[in-house]
Structure 1
Amino acid sequence: MPDLYPLFADLTALPVLVVGGGHVAERKVTALLAAGAQVRVGALLLTATLARQVEEGEIQHVGDTFRSAWLDDVWLVIAATGDRTLNAQVAAFAKERRIFANVVDDPALSRFQVPAVVDRAPLTVAISTGGAAPVIARRVRETLESELDHALGPLTALVQRYRSRIAQRWPNLAERRAFYDRLYDGSVMTLLRSDRPDDAERALLDALGANEAVSSSGAVMLVGAGPGDPGLLTLRALRALNQADVIVHDSLVSDAVLALARRDAERIDVGKRCGGRHTPQELIHRVLLEQARAGRRVVRLKGGDPFVFGRGGEEMEFLREHGISCEIVPGITAALACAAYAGIPLTHRERARSVHLLTGHCKESLDGMDWPALAQDHQTLAVYMSVAKLDELMRGLLGHGRRADTPFAIVEHGTLPQQRVLRGVLHELPRRAKERGVQSPALLIIGEVAAMAQPWFGAIHD
């Protein structure tokens, strides 16, 4: 089959015919209506949706049995009947009249193919295999959906409004291309991504009136890497990793997640390891500031969620105080992920009415806990960074009335291939953990729901 000529058709107010009334035809009608076409449908039986659209005047029903007159004055025809003989007849009449025809799932009878589409209106990406392998086109579309930022649509619309002014401001093509690059990489795109279109437009107008193009000062994205399983990374986090010039990451960020990042991005490890190397928070602030001021796109990659025991709030405040644009990309925090991978619901209608997220990484954290409230039954305690403080946690809860037989579960290396879960009851918590050699990173879950742990992922020990 010869190569197809790629073409985007303006069907606004043009009559288009769809032959067929099933669910496939319904999908074609939906896409044609979205393109502004005047849709006519010919079929004996119509789906409920198509019948409603005919009744409400959205589309026109031209008849039950195909006749060549249906093709009068139409610009495009789609045959979607499931009857190859009828589809071939439609295609033949269309060819005689020089009307482009598509026969669904039959490239040999088709004069055009309907591509898989990634919609970032007014930006549209179309993918076609010429009808040879639609499944491959679908997989490519899925990949692009995860890669292409949703802010590209608003950016394209914004640039469209100011295209002539941009061309006048920078008549030299190379300078104009550099300006567009800065729009894409700089503050305008960041503002659109943060759903601040008015601020983005002001930034573009400021650039149009300035002697220089849009500021090339960098920005920082505080990105949650999730608990370790790369499959739990959000789409926005994945896009950030592929756009980053430099990645400033914690030790809890897994190698599998880092492997998804842009290959030429610089990686700076600022991990804080219990009993090992410790990067002061002030140094992390300085690194972020220096990298952003150098005009680089910085991803501050944190295990879990930046705002749950991740000091993301402090970093956000510091950056804003120094005039650095800062975007937040949430991640799946360990309490949610580790509990789910251990088969433990954090809430349960009969066993847990509330959840408390706690940290046991230092004495000050334990001293500030409301022990009488935490010792109440029918609530779940999810304790981060608790391995070194299990004795104190047990004594504090038992000393304030928590039942000695309250179930616990420790999820070690949660969501990773080496995950294991240790179950028991509260009064034996430190001893059991020591016997099993539990090490960080581990999440401790205390409460009635901990007894529900099921070994659907990794090892489990009682």
Structure 2
Amino acid sequence: MTDTQPKLNAFPIFLRVEGEAVAIVGGGDEALAKARLLGQSSAEIRIIADNAEPALRDWIAAHGAVRIHAAYEASLIEGAVLVFAATGDVELDRRIAGDARRLSVAVNAVDRPELCDFFTPALVNRAPVAVAIGTEGAGPVLAQMIRARIDQMLSPQIGALATLSASFRSAVERLLPRGEVRRGFWREFFEGVPARALARGRLAEAHDAATELLLNGGAVRGHVALVGAGPGAEDLLTLRAHRLLMEADVIVHDALVPEAVISMGRRDAKRLSVGKRKGCHSKTQSEINDLLVQLAQAGKRVVRLKSGDPLVFGRAGEEMQAMRDAGVSYEVVPGVTSAFAAAADFELPLTLRGVSSSMVFTTGHDLKGGSLPDWARLAISGATVAVYMGRSVAADVAGRLIDAGLSPDTAVAVVENASLKNRRRFHGTLADLPSLEARGDLTGPVMTIIGDAVAGANFELSEPLAALRHHEAAIAAMEGQGA
């Protein structure tokens, strides 16, 4: 069988530099960039420059590096474990590279791959954890792009977690048998209660949780994360939400969460849809509560994935109470709620100085009772109102607000499928809003924003609601003449 995998011309290693000298030759931006990179290590940095630019001099003073104020000579790099030629002068860099090889010191010449014994990687630093990305000098910009993606994926506390793990390693090897039990302990350590405690900056709590885990023989405790999936676009998911999805054993999701967001979870995670579309509930809220508790008590890490934000019309309160009653560990991860996504789609300021300084989040169903809710009075006094509703209640919302005293000319913005590529935007006034009720083609989630601040939106890519109203009136007139 032929091996078709391309071979690496530069093999990645981690070189021990603690207490060792690393020489950087140069006094400009290239030398400063390498100094900043090496400054993340415990190496003794030696900068050789007869003329150093102010930014480099400031860095040397701030970080305790050694500057050798002299023109380059080969003797100045003796004893170094690494040398960086960063002069910007090709002939001088070539000379430095030759001297380094003669002295058996590995050399890197900035932007001159043909002179390099090694290449500096793009580095994600979570000391003592480090991720290095290299392209053998072919694509430094590509390496930085990859670095940025990995940096987003890793918890800021993963280094501290690794340090804590080192203090438990000998005890784990002594008390837990090799194989599945020991692997289970470390998996729970790095993804379970100790990791979550440290993510909140609670080192003592993380240490206690790890000790309890060890004394319990590595037995895994379940956990539920109530996670906001955002309005629909997968790139609006938070970094924390993405990390939890990648760690989850089970993903319990609502029907409105797009498949693209669900697919960001672990491939082998079990996925359970609990429905909740209009007129079609696959599970009652009580059944969902029981399901979350049962999964957690079975030792599963569960992500309860909710559209938008879990705490905004997501019935998270009932689920949290159920888990508190059962003694189940849980956390809440906020998401971008649909009102914010709809406002962004319209470039709409939800608050506008001198116009509106308050906001109301509500559902159209609040207006179906006999008495006018308090938020309606806020709308009349100038608050921006974001109404989470389907098109079927648009006429009722408009009529009740107009009857309560809100001007029919109040500006309105409507978005179907906020944040998604197939979103549709409509604009008009409160008097135009009832025309939505006849739009059977609006099958996605509809978000309506009402208030004087809406007038500050960008309407270039939206359709006027008035056109729909006039079209309906014309059809009605024609039908009347036909009768």
TM-score, normalising length: structure 2? 0.87
Shift in CA distance, 364/56, structure 1 to aligned 2, threshold 3 Å: same
> Given that residues 427 and 462 in structure 2 are in contact (C-alpha distance below 8 angstroms), is that contact kept between their aligned partners in structure 1?
no
Identify the residue that residue 178 of structure 1 maps to in structure 2.
184
Please report how far the alpha carbon of residue 107 of structure 1 lies from its aligned counterpart in structure 2 after TM superposition.
Answer: 2.7
Taking structure 1 as reference, are residues 55 and 232 closer, same or farther at Cα in structure 2, changes over 3 Å only?
closer
Q: Report the counterpart of residue 335 of structure 1 in structure 2.
A: 339
Residue 104 of structure 1, aligned match among 106, 110, 114: 110
Distance 1:78 1:151 in 2: 31
Distance in 2 separating the partners of 1:434 and 1:366: 23
Change in CA separation of 1:55 and 1:267 when aligned onto 2, cut-off 3 Å: closer
Find the aligned partners of 1:66 and 1:47 in 2 and give their Cα distance: 16
CA distance in 2, matches of 1:240, 1:434: 39
Counterpart in the other structure of 2:43? 37
Report the CA distance between 1:134 and its aligned residue. 3.0
1:422 aligned counterpart, secondary structure? strand
1:305 Cα shift?
0.7
Q: Note if 1:369 corresponds to 2:374.
A: yes
SS of 1:162's equivalent in the other structure is helix
Which residue does 2:389 correspond to in 1?
385
Q: Which residue of 1 aligns with 2:463?
A: 460
Q: Any conservation in 1 of the 2:82–2:105 contact (CA below 8 Å)?
A: yes
Cα deviation, 1:48-98, whole Å, max 9, x if unaligned, reads: 321224456722332353222321333321111222211111111111111
Whole-angstrom CA distance in 2 between matches of 1:390 and 1:174: 57
CA contact (8 A) 1:419 1:459 kept: no
* Aligned residue in 2 for 1:272: 276
**Offset at 1:142?**
3.2
Residue 32 of structure 1 aligns to which amino acid in structure 2? Answer: L
TM-superposed deviation, 1:433: 1.4
Task: Provide closer, same or farther for how the CA distance between residues 137 and 373 of structure 1 changes in structure 2, counting only shifts above 3 A.
Answer: closer
Contact in 2 for aligned 1:248/1:269 (Cα 8 Å)? yes
Establish whether residue 132 from structure 1 lines up as the match of residue 138 from structure 2. yes
Contact 2:412 2:454 in 1 (8 A): yes
Give the match for residue 213 of structure 2.
207
Tell me the secondary structure at the aligned position of residue 126 of structure 1: strand
Structure 1 residue ranges without an equivalent (≥5): none
Residue type of the alignment partner of 1:96: R
SS at match of 1:130: coil
Q: Contact between 2:223 and 2:300, CA under 8 Å: does it hold in 1?
A: yes
The 5 A counterparts of 1:18-417 are 18-55=24-61, 58-63=64-69, 65-170=71-176, 172=178, 175-210=181-216, 212-213=217-218, 215-277=219-281, 279-362=283-366, 363=368, 367-377=372-382, 379-385=383-389, 387-417=391-421
Percent identity over paired residues: 37
TM-aligned CA distance change 1:221 to 1:408, over 3 Å: same
Change in CA separation of 1:366 and 1:100 when aligned onto 2, cut-off 3 Å? farther
Q: What secondary structure sits across from 2:365 in the alignment?
A: coil
How big is each residue's C-alpha offset from its partner over 1:293-332, in whole Å with a ceiling of 9 and x where there is no partner? Answer: 2222211001111111111232122212212111222111
Q: What's the offset of the Cα at 1:455?
A: 5.1
TM-score (norm 1): 0.91
Asked if structure 2 preserves the Cα contact closer than 8 Å seen for 1:376 and 1:401, the reply is no
Supply the RMSD in Å over aligned alpha carbons: 2.5
Q: Residues of 2 paired with 1:289 and 1:201: CA distance?
A: 26
Select the residue among 10, 16, 20 that pairs with 1:10: 16
Residue 247 of structure 2 contacts residue 301 of structure 2 at CA under 8 Å; is this kept in 1? yes
How many residues end up aligned between the 2 structures? 457
Q: Does 1:434 align with 2:440?
A: no
When residues 239 and 460 of structure 1 are mapped into structure 2, their CA distance, relative to the original with a 3 A threshold, is farther
Comparing 321-330 and 33-42, the one that deviates more:
33-42
